[in-house]
Structure 1
């Protein structure tokens, strides 16, 4: 029978110590492996965030319409008296009022924000709220309001008309300057700003009218 201290001595034998060292080494490798798998995941996550940020910045910088709308001067109606240093504050403008409804869905026959607008409904609503004018309800009727102007005389707040249905003055929008206009385009779309230089609108443009707050109101 081995002496009582033999079992205790066996636990510290070179073989046991070697096995214990191997176990410690394996545990360390597992920990390191865990760090190695974690680190690339963090890098990948960071890379994804950078891609999202870069994509967002790229789309923002490539949005000339968004940048244009950020310019307060682009939204002001260009009345002559507004250039005077001693002029009274300009009233709410036709352009500003219409731009408040960007994104509102088109609705045929609509003439209020809660229900949506068609092209002439948007113009009629904005003219009444900003200039106090009660315009005819149709685009063709609105083409008789105010005074006729040439295309090279256009300024912000003028009405621009297009032939979109095979007849004159079948569509109307509000000129914003820089060859842009705001309008309610069609069913399934929303009120938006577009360029009159687009081939579709350039070919169909057929006149413009200028409204004035002091003009006699046109009746329905």
Structure 2
């Protein structure tokens, strides 16, 4: 069984830099191939490609689909302690900062412990996609954050040696270490 079937979305498998990658089909727009304009030298053509593939501008609104779409686009990015950029790697709080700033224009505090004071408290039974979920993996207070994406799952940057991934919060390790959740709005 394909492990992605449990997420509740359709997935497309593609190749990127010779590695198989699964992308959420709900957030992919298939467009026709465009021919390069005539008369462009390599530098101008490369700039045109960069312009057309640049990350879209920040969208406003508290629509959870924007948060999830931007987060899913970073699946597979390496964890890097203290990281706050997809190019150099992201840690859990850097990942959430990046997604909320890009999707909603909201600036979150840098640490997961500080993030757990932002927004409105949400009970575990009331989680909605886009809610921040907080954990105490070592038992010494909140030290990890992810984003709930629905169906009992979160997307997060887990730890050194791992990449941004989707995992269940309803059983096992993440269920046992769950502390609280917050809903952040504009």
Same fold (TM over 0.5): yes
By percentage of residues, which structure has more helix? 1
Alignment check: 8 A CA contact 1:92 1:130 kept: no
Q: Which residue of 1 aligns with 2:94?
A: 121
Question: Distance between the aligned counterparts of 2:123 and 2:141, measured in 1?
Answer: 16
1:68 aligns with 2:9: yes
CA contact (8 A) 1:92 1:131 kept: no
Greater strand content: 2
Which residue of structure 1 aligns with residue 44 of structure 2?
none
1:137 paired to 2:129 = no
Gaps of 5+ in 1: 1-58, 75-87, 215-220
- CA RMSD, aligned part only? 2.5
Residue among 165, 173, 187 paired with 2:160: 187
Q: Deviations over 1:168-214 (max 9, x none)?
A: 221000000000100000000000000112311111000000011x2
Structure 2, unaligned stretches of length 5 or more?
Answer: 12-23, 28-60
> What is the DSSP-based 3-state SS (H/G/I as helix, E as strand, rest coil) of the residue aligned with 1:108?
coil
Q: What TM-score results when the alignment is normalised by the length of structure 2?
A: 0.69
CA–CA distance in structure 2, aligned partners of residues 72 and 168 of structure 1: 37
CA distance in 1, matches of 2:79, 2:177: 20
Query: TM-score, normalization: structure 1?
Result: 0.59
Q: Which stretch has the larger CA shift, 91-100 or 172-181?
A: 91-100
| CA radius of gyration, larger in | 1
Cα 1:65–1:104 shift into 2, 3 Å: farther
How many aligned positions are there? 141
Shift of 1:166: 2.2
1:35-184 to 2 correspondence within 5 Å?
60=2, 63-65=4-6, 68-70=9-11, 93-184=66-157
